[in-house]
Chains A and B, each alone.
Chain A
Amino acid sequence: MTSTLPSRKAIHLAAHFPGVNNTTVWTDPGSGSQIDFTSFEHLARTAERGLFDFFFLAEGLRLREHKGRVHDLDVVGRPESLTVLNALAAVTEKLGLAATVNATFNEPYETARRFASLDHLSGGRAAWNVVTSSDAFTGENFRRGGYLDRADRYTRAAEFVDVARQLWDAGTGRPVRHHGRHFTIEGDAGVPTPPQGHPVVIQAGDSAEGREFAAAAADVIFTRHGTLEAGRAFYADVKGRLAAHGREPEDLLIMPGVTFVLGDTDAEAQEKAAGIRRQQVSPQNAILTLEQVWGVDLSSYDPDGPLPDIDPVPDTGLSQGRTHRGDVFALAEKWRELSRAKGLSIRQTVIETTSRQSFIGTARTVAAEMDAFVQGDAADGFILVPHLTPGGLDDFVDQVVPLLQERGAFRTEYEGDTLRSHLGLRTPERTLTA
């Protein structure tokens, strides 16, 4: 048994398969296939060796475009998540399996059925990251098409999850009858109630509407607040919303997506981290990042030269599928300021403004900082985003996990078989409506 102190919060860990953005370094000699099943198998087996709570797949339903053409500088393309996770269920035994599935470009019955299938076939390990992203650009791939504003997206998502849960609760032989604003559904779900009762629901979205939806309906929230201060504020805000929904603080786990760099010394790790940031921002990527802010073609600029003097043009739609929100004038001015003050070129400026990795240091430093982060109520755990496919978690599992265990902050074996059990979530009570 472990020597876990009763007061110590247990850290939860998830493995994010490297995504379709420039966090993933594909130019590294150690970088493997983003599509072959062996890559998914490697990362999932590594996560299970490290006793992680779950494995996570993001989703994007339209290839990103820039200047009317497919964006070609980052990793492009990925397999369909639920199919990959069902296959991973064959090569893992305990690891939770989380897929991001959009609530705008799907229908509740089919989505509920597919997650119930994964939960049955994996013996209770399924999780669904409910995202609401919707834009007319992505809609061009779907029957539904179109765009929903944020308020509608979240009422649709809330009703979507509610219908899915009704279907899971009903199982077979008990018809569901739902007449709502977005959906009208009647009939027998077909699939018996999943082993977990309800697959775990994850929410990723930062707006007030998103937080409220998470507080009402999610089991886990995936956030981008990876610094201690921002994390604490977010944690307090979200946990504070739970009581109004009749829920306890431990009913919703907060897990920021974080990056890390390990080294033999802290200084070496810092150096490696800077090197990775340079890899993440190629000269071409630096210009592209600038164009996403400026909204105009900047291909004639030298990435090793100064920033443009011209002002940005907002809302040109130059980049599709990944948009910059907020005041582009202020951002451009801030970057020029930085470049002037430190004498930085375009590329150096972009590297400088690329967020630093969340945890950098020796395995001991990283383990201590992560633990402090969780014990300090900035998170309940982390979704680790490695920068290399598929070996990006190997060192973490070999070096950091044992130290977290030594601190009594992480499990030394899986105690249960289901993802709910790993996360310490109770099995939901079946509410039968019909």
Chain B
Amino acid sequence: MTSQPGRGLLHLAAAVDLAGTLDAEPYLRLVRLAEHGALDFVTLHDTFAAAGPDSLSVLSRIAPATSRIGLVPTVTTTHTEPFHVQAAVATLDWVSRGRAGWRPDVSPGDDEAALVGRRQPPAPADLWHEAGEVADVARKLWDSWEDGAEIRDVATGRFVDRDKLHHVDFEGRTFSVRGPSIVPRPPQGNPVVVVDATRPYAYDVAARHADVALVGIADPGQLATARAGLRRRAAEHGRDPDELRVLAALRIDLGGGERTARPGHGGGPLPTEEGPLYRGGPVDLADLITDWHRRGAADGFHLTPLDPRRDLERLVNGTVPLLQHRALFRTFYPGSTLREHLDLARPANQFAALAQESS
């Protein structure tokens, strides 16, 4: 069971960030490599003013050229319209046939605010409060069409059953949305929400709204504690904690050969400004992942390669086969959606549930 992470299969994800790359081809090579390794999903980070195309565009460009791997772009919530954001993520789920995720993030910088010119960025706590509201309204809008709303009933001339379409009437602190969405409910019901829980103020957003929480802590014992804490908080919010996957976020530098000078797992990752950094060989990384997984530190790993072309290749051809050999990681994709890879249920529709309660 997933509440016992040391016993189940682990989940693996990788970042495919390529700063300043404009063409689709280099991204596609990385994502295909990750898919070859049967990884659960790739992430592509984004900020306003980032050099290069926006992440959601890149991953939609990649979607038809891949078939199984989950695609998780960062889409920011500070200077964007919640209605557009949820529609774009839902559409990524449609064009990828159920492989979309979304990593909400905030834009605290003055530079980003100046490019939009709409408002000064509020304090970080308020930014994350708003990000939580955007995640909340996104789920409501994804659910604003019930499954099967499209009926095409020739006899009555009705294309949709409008009893299955819902206004969401969301009132947030900084915005409101009437709904329903313009996009029918996506294949996964709700695309997978991935929140970096180690960011200041993001912890509670992760506990409330995330399907996958990323936690960057260099010590496996502390990581296990953080995982337990997130699960407890999720339960306090009325969620089933087994519907939350907690992944250890590690930056990896696999440039040092098969094994590191020191035996074992290279002494473990070093804490850095940008999160824990693992330096060593692919074999040692497999040992570290095996060890952390057995200790119940996390449900899996989100790995950010320092040099994506080199490190992802070593991860997929060096680390992954060892984990597969140890029966800790899948050798092929038994499912076709990202939720299936993550062993997460397709969520019930909140409006359909309401309708049933009241009837």
- Our pick among A87, A109, A285 for the contact of B64 (Cβ within 8 Å) is A87
CB contacts (< 8 Å) of A186 on chain B: these are 114-115, 117
CB contacts (< 8 Å) of A185 on chain B: these are 114-117
CB contacts (< 8 Å) of B229 on chain A: these are none
Q: A87 and B183 in contact (CB under 8 A), knowing A70-B162, A72-B160, A142-B83? A: no
- Our pick among A61, A62, A79, A120 for the contact of B23 (Cβ within 8 Å) is A120
CB contacts (< 8 Å) of B112 on chain A: these are 187
Indicate whether A35 reaches chain B with its CB closer than 8 angstroms: yes
CB contacts (< 8 Å) of B53 on chain A: these are 116-117, 120-121, 191
Indicate whether A229 reaches chain B with its CB closer than 8 angstroms: no
- Our pick among B79, B92, B162 for the contact of A69 (Cβ within 8 Å) is B162
CB contacts (< 8 Å) of A91 on chain B: these are 64
A339 to chain B, nearest CB (A): 21
Q: Are B183 and A118 in contact (CB under 8 A)?
A: no
B103 to chain A, nearest CB (A): 16
Complex: chain B residue closest to A91, CB-CB: B64
B52 to chain A, nearest CB (A): 7
Complex: chain B residue closest to A184, CB-CB: B117
Q: Which of B56, B111, B116, B182 has the most CB of A within 10 A?
A: B182
Q: Are A27 and B154 in contact (CB under 8 A)?
A: yes
Q: A35 and B94 in contact (CB under 8 A), knowing A80-B84, A90-B63? A: yes
Indicate whether A306 reaches chain B with its CB closer than 8 angstroms: no
- Selected A-B contacts with CB under 8 Å, 18 pairs: A27-B157, A70-B160, A72-B161, A73-B157, A73-B159, A79-B90, A79-B95, A83-B91, A83-B95, A84-B91, A89-B24, A107-B116, A118-B57, A120-B23, A185-B116, A187-B114, A188-B111, A192-B51
Q: Are B157 and A190 in contact (CB under 8 A)?
A: no
CB contacts (< 8 Å) of A79 on chain B: these are 87, 90-91, 94-95, 183
Q: Are A109 and B115 in contact (CB under 8 A)?
A: yes
Q: Are A142 and B157 in contact (CB under 8 A)?
A: no
- Our pick among B23, B24, B178, B183 for the contact of A80 (Cβ within 8 Å) is B183
Indicate whether B261 reaches chain A with its CB closer than 8 angstroms: no
Q: Are A121 and B61 in contact (CB under 8 A)?
A: yes
Indicate whether A205 reaches chain B with its CB closer than 8 angstroms: no
Q: How many residues of chain A have a CB within 8 Å of chain B?
A: 63
Complex: chain A residue closest to B144, CB-CB: A63
- Our pick among B24, B114, B154, B165 for the contact of A63 (Cβ within 8 Å) is B165
CB contacts (< 8 Å) of B178 on chain A: these are 62, 140-141
Indicate whether B74 reaches chain A with its CB closer than 8 angstroms: no
Q: A61 and B83 in contact (CB under 8 A), knowing A80-B88, A113-B48? A: yes
CB contacts (< 8 Å) of A191 on chain B: these are 22, 51-53
Q: Bound complex: CA of A90 vs CA of B58, how far in Å?
A: 10
Indicate whether A41 reaches chain B with its CB closer than 8 angstroms: yes
